[in-house]
A and B are shown apart, each in its own frame.
Chain A
Amino acid sequence: MATIKLTEKELLQELKQIEAAKKNPERFGYLYNRYYKQIFLFIYKRTDDENVCGDITSQVFLKAMLNLKKYTYRGVPFSAWLYRIASNEVNQHFRNKKNERVVSMDKSDIERVFGMIDEMPESDNKDLFRQVMLDSLDEMKEEEVQIIELRFFEKRPFSEVGYIMGITENNAKVRVYRILERLKKRMKKKLEGVI
Chain B
Amino acid sequence: MKHNYKIKLKEPDLTDEQVYAHKDFDKVFKRYKSVVDPLHRKPLYKNPKTFLGVVLFTVIGILVYYAMMEEETVQKQEEVHLAKAHKMKEAREMTPLPGTAPEPWITYNLPEGQEKKFDLPGGLSLSIPKDALVDAKGNPVSEVSTIDVRFFSDPQTMAIQGLNLETQPGSDKVLNSLNAFEIRILQGDEELQIREGSSLKLDLAGENSNQSLQECNLYGLNRVTTTWEPIKGKIQVLAPGSTEDIKKPEGDGFGMIEEGKARSKKKPKTQIKEKDSQSFLRSFSVEKLGVFNLGKEIDRGSWDEVALRFEDAEGNEVHFFGMYLMNREMNTVQYLWPKDDNFTFNVKLNPDQDQLLAGITPDGRLAVMRAESFKKIDAGSKEVQTVRLEIIEAEISSIEDLKRVLSFQSVS
Chain A positions within 8 Å of B, measured between CB atoms, are 25-26, 28-29, 32-33, 36-37, 40-41, 44-45, 48, 50-51, 53-54, 57-58, 61-62, 65-66, 94, 100-107, 110, 134, 137-142, 145
Contacts and interface: CB of A to CB of B under 8 A. Distances in A.
A189 to B, nearest CB: 14
Nearest to A99: B4
Contacts of B19: 36-37, 40-41
B23 A36 contact: yes
A40 B19 CA distance: 7
Given A32-B28, A40-B19, A100 B11 contact: no
Contacts of A26: 29
B28 A104 contact: no
Interface string B1-18: 101111111111010101
Contact of A57 (B7, B10, B14, B22): B22
A47 to B, nearest CB: 10
Interface string B325-356: 00000000000000000000000000000000
Nearest to A33: B25
Given A58-B27, A104-B12, A66 B32 contact: yes
A41 B23 CA distance: 12
Contacts of B31: 58, 62
B24 interface: yes
Contacts of A45: 11-12
Contacts of A107: 9
Contact of A104 (B10, B24, B36): B10
Contacts of B36: 25, 66
B7 A66 contact: no
Given A48-B8, A50-B22, A105-B11, A61 B3 contact: no
Given A32-B28, A41-B14, A62-B32, A100 B4 contact: yes
10 contacts: A25-B33, A28-B25, A28-B29, A58-B31, A65-B32, A101-B4, A105-B9, A110-B9, A138-B1, A142-B5
Nearest to B31: A62
Interface of B: 1, 3-12, 14, 16, 18-25, 27-29, 31-33, 35-36
Contact of B9 (A36, A58, A134, A141): A134
B7 A58 contact: no
Contacts of B16: 37
A33 B11 CA distance: 23
A62 B10 contact: no
Interface residues of A: mostly helix, strand, loop or mixed? helix
A135 B19 CA distance: 31
A22 to B, nearest CB: 13
Nearest to B7: A103
A179 to B, nearest CB: 14
B325 to A, nearest CB: 88
Contact of A138 (B4, B7, B21, B24): B7
Contacts of A100: 4-6
Contacts of B28: 32, 58, 61-62, 65
B22 to A, nearest CB: 3
A50 B18 contact: yes
A55 to B, nearest CB: 8
Nearest to A51: B22
Given A51-B22, A58-B28, A66-B35, 17 more contacts: A29-B25, A37-B20, A41-B19, A44-B12, A53-B22, A58-B22, A58-B24, A61-B28, A62-B28, A62-B32, A94-B4, A102-B8, A105-B8, A134-B7, A138-B3, A138-B7, A142-B3
Nearest to B32: A65
Contacts of B11: 45, 104-106
Nearest to B11: A106
A32 B18 contact: no
B22 A103 contact: no
Nearest to B14: A44
Nearest to B22: A54
B6 A102 contact: yes
A58 B33 CA distance: 14
Contact of A103 (B1, B8, B27): B8
A110 B33 CA distance: 44
Given A105-B7, A106-B9, A50 B14 contact: yes
Contacts of B24: 58
B361 to A, nearest CB: 78
Nearest 9 A/B pairs, CB to CB:
A54-B22, A106-B11, A139-B1, A103-B7, A65-B32, A104-B8, A101-B5, A32-B25, A100-B6
A41 B12 CA distance: 8
B5 A145 contact: yes
A179 B92 CA distance: 106
A134 B9 CA distance: 9
A114 B181 CA distance: 137
Contacts of B32: 25, 62, 65-66
